[in-house]
Amino acid sequence: MSIKQTWAIATEKRLVHEAGCLGELLEQFRDRIPPALIGDREWKSLLARVRDLPVTIAAFPFGFEVPLHESNPRADFGASLVGGSRTAEILQGAAESARADLATAGMVSFLNETDREEAPLRRIAGRKIMVEYDIDSPLPDKASSPAVFLYPEGQTLAGGGGEQQLEDLGIILGALDTAVNQEPDSAERQQVELVYRALSPDMYIRSVGTFPGRTRIVRLALMGFNRKGSVTEFLERAGWPGLCSLIDPTLSPIEESGAPAEIGLHLDVDASGVGPTLGLSLYAPEGQFMLKGREYWTAIIDGIRAAGIAVPEKLSALLEWSAGSEPLSGESGPFMSVRGIHHLKITVTGDQVGPVKGYIFLLLFSWPLEVGPHE
């Protein structure tokens, strides 16, 4: 068992003594969230949407998607589910209830399948599933089912692969359909395969997701782009219908900031091909996003500020959020919290640049590390 797994188990065990549900726990963090990013009314809507999720889900990274191009202080919510955890067991138990909703049942199907060590899906996608809730209504029963994202292990789906990689891609697309309770679409799968074939060997699929509450698409997150030119060359091969001439001027202010950001692409694919919306995402170096605090992101944010594509007050609030680690006192003992930026995304649609979004995370863990049995 890895140190991360041990820590998560210990934290889940402690969190059940801190609140009865996730909403109750989040209420305790209101004063740490800049109102420029999430306003009071928007915060109440967010709590109502995710209130009944298990409090133990906070033992894994969770956070908020905040629009930076508009003054409205709102956010969507994202969280991780990991097989074999107390949280997974709670959801798997809930799925057996006659009152279980389809969204829970779909996510649990992934957890159940990847509980089997011999399952091909576990080899390909590990045991992690991420859910993202659109906070578009103050009433939880009016909101759509959450988006679902699966994460191929490492560079399992690196470009240049053969029939095995295509088979693996098909397995993960099938699991995604099952997780959101939708029927497979062979034309959609063929279009996703064409995007995969456009990847060079140093590029890979980082995640595969879909939004059941929106028009049907597959959202691909792609990594391995080490320069602006490689982005443009790939988009031309993949058949992106936007203006590739916008890529260089969009990324130049970021590149000139001097920050060593990793570039990722988000593409939407449906049965007709690649959609017009492109996400240009900026990440801290792989595996280091929790170690990169305010100092690292300042240069990138200054580049976005110089490009004039985001609200300055929100960019300042983003840096305020990225405060690093902080000790907390809980009913069950001390915790540490880590607040930071996971990545930033600039959207290019056709000939338009924007919107711009920040993806910020919050992680709680028990302190000091407690090693004990998983009850």
- What DSSP line would sit under 181-245, residue for residue? T----HHHHHHHHHHHHT--TT-EEEEEEE-TTSS--EEEEEEEE-SHHHHHHHHHHHT--S-GG
Amino acid present at 197? R
Q: Identify the pLDDT of residue 77.
A: 95
Q: Give the tens place of pLDDT for each residue, 198-257.
A: 999 999 999 999 999 889 999 999 999 876 678 999 999 999 999 999 998 888 877 777
Cβ atoms 51, 76 nearer than 8 A:
no
CA dihedral sign of residues 112, 117, 120, 121:
positive
Cβ atoms 178, 190 nearer than 8 A:
no
Structure tokens at 342: 């996971």
Q: Identify the pLDDT of residue 191.
A: 98
Residues 6+ apart with CB under 8 A from 47: 23, 26, 27
Q: Identify the pLDDT of residue 186.
A: 97
Run of H or E including 118: none
Cβ atoms 223, 261 nearer than 8 A:
no
Mean of the per-residue pLDDT values of the chain:
88
* CB crowding 251-276: b at 16 or more within 10 Å, else e: bebbeebebebbbbbbbbbbeebbbe
pLDDT average, residue stretch 261-269: 92
Q: What's the CA gap between 353 and 369, in Å, rounded? A: 45
Residue that has been written with the tokens 């992934």 in this structure: 110
DSSP 158: B
Q: Give the tens place of pLDDT for each residue, 98-131.
A: 556 667 788 889 999 999 999 999 999 999 999 9
Amino acid present at 109? S
Q: Is residue 62 pLDDT above 90, yes or no?
A: yes
Cβ atoms 281, 207 nearer than 8 A:
no
Report which of 343, 38, 315, 81 is spatially closest to residue 29, judged by C-alpha positions. Answer: 38
Q: Which of 159-163, 264-268, 285-289, 316-320 has the lowest mean pLDDT?
A: 285-289
Cβ atoms 203, 227 nearer than 8 A:
no
